[in-house]
Structure 1
Amino acid sequence: MLFVFVFGVSLGLFSKSASIAAYNPATGFAQSSQVTGLFSPSTLALAIFPDVDTSAFPVDAATALTVPAVQRGIQIFSSVGSRLPLKATDADGNDVDLPFLNHTEGPITPAKRTSGIIQDLIFHNASLIQVVRDADGYVSAFAHVPAHLWSLDANGNILVNGKKASSDDVVYVPSIMPAGFLEVARDSVRQYRNIVRTINNRTAAPEPVVIVAETEDVAPTDEEIDQALASLANALQSERGGIVYQPKGLEIKGFGATDSANALMLEARNALRVDISNFLGISADMLDGSGGGNSQVYANSVDSRNELSELSLKTWTEPLADRLSQDDCTPPGIKISVDYSLFDAFVSAKGNTESPVIPNV
Structure 2
Amino acid sequence: MGFLDWLGLSTQRSSTILQSTSVGVLSQYAAPSDLGTIVISDALGVQLQNLPMGRGEAMSIPSVAKAQHLLTSTIARFPLRAMDETGALATQPTWLYRSNGDVSPYARMVATVDDLMFHGRSLWLTTRGASGQILEAEWVPIDLWRVQDGEFFIEGRKTPLQRDEMILHSVPLWDGLLSVGASNLRGAKDVERAWQGRARNPIPVMVLKVTDDSNLTQEEVDQYVQEWSTARRAEGGAVGMLPAGLEMEVHGEVSPDLMLQGRNAVKTDVANYTNVPTTLLDGSLSEASLTYTTKEGERNLFYDLCLPYWIDPIMQRLSQDDCVPRGTRVRFDMYDVYAPTPSPTGPLEED
Q: Is the TM value for this pair above 0.5?
A: yes
Q: How far is the alpha carbon of 1:307 from its aligned partner?
A: 1.2
Distance 1:135 1:108 in 2: 25
Moved over 4 A (4+): 225-231, 356-361
Aligned pair 1:313/2:298, yes or no?
A: no
Give me the TM-score of the superposition, normalised by structure 2: 0.81
1:50 match: secondary structure: helix
Distance 1:156 1:91 in 2: 36
- Show the counterpart of 1:37: 24
Aligned pair 1:142/2:137, yes or no?
A: yes
2:77 maps to a residue whose letter is R
- Show the counterpart of 2:207: 211
2:126 match: secondary structure: strand
Distance 2:320 2:40 in 1: 43
- Show the counterpart of 2:98: 103
Aligned pair 1:246/2:242, yes or no?
A: yes
- Show the counterpart of 1:24: 12
Aligned pair 1:157/2:144, yes or no?
A: no
Distance 2:190 2:344 in 1: 40
1:250 maps to a residue whose letter is L
Q: Which runs of 5+ in 2 are unaligned?
A: 26-30, 285-292, 347-351
1:50 maps to a residue whose letter is D
What is the CA deviation profile of residues 280-322 of structure 1, one whole-angstrom value per residue up to 9, with x for unaligned ones? 00100000189xxxxxxxx722221111111111222222221
Give me the TM-score of the superposition, normalised by structure 1: 0.79
Structure 1 residues 233 and 33 mapped into 2: Cα distance closer, same or farther (>3 Å)?
A: closer
Which stretch of structure 1 is more off in the superposition, 299-308 or 67-76?
299-308
Instruction: Answer whether contact 1:231 1:244 (CA < 8 A) is retained.
Output: no
Instruction: Answer whether contact 1:302 1:345 (CA < 8 A) is retained.
Output: no
Aligned pair 1:78/2:72, yes or no?
A: yes
Aligned pair 1:46/2:38, yes or no?
A: yes
Distance 1:159 1:144 in 2: 14
Aligned pair 1:279/2:281, yes or no?
A: no
Q: How far is the alpha carbon of 1:125 from its aligned partner?
A: 0.8
Q: How far is the alpha carbon of 1:183 from its aligned partner?
A: 0.9
1:42 maps to a residue whose letter is D
1:83 maps to a residue whose letter is R
Distance 1:274 1:248 in 2: 50
Distance 2:89 2:51 in 1: 46
1:24 match: secondary structure: helix
Query: Quick one: percent identity of the two aligned structures?
Result: 26
What is the CA deviation profile of residues 213-267 of structure 1, one whole-angstrom value per residue up to 9, with x for unaligned ones? 356xx535649x85865653442243443864323443213322x143x432321
1:201 maps to a residue whose letter is G
Q: How far is the alpha carbon of 1:30 from its aligned partner?
A: 4.2
2:277 maps to a residue whose letter is S
1:170 corresponds to which of 148, 158, 166? 166
Instruction: Answer whether contact 2:129 2:135 (CA < 8 A) is retained.
Output: yes
How many residues align structurally? 325
Instruction: Answer whether contact 2:336 2:342 (CA < 8 A) is retained.
Output: no
- Show the counterpart of 1:87: 81
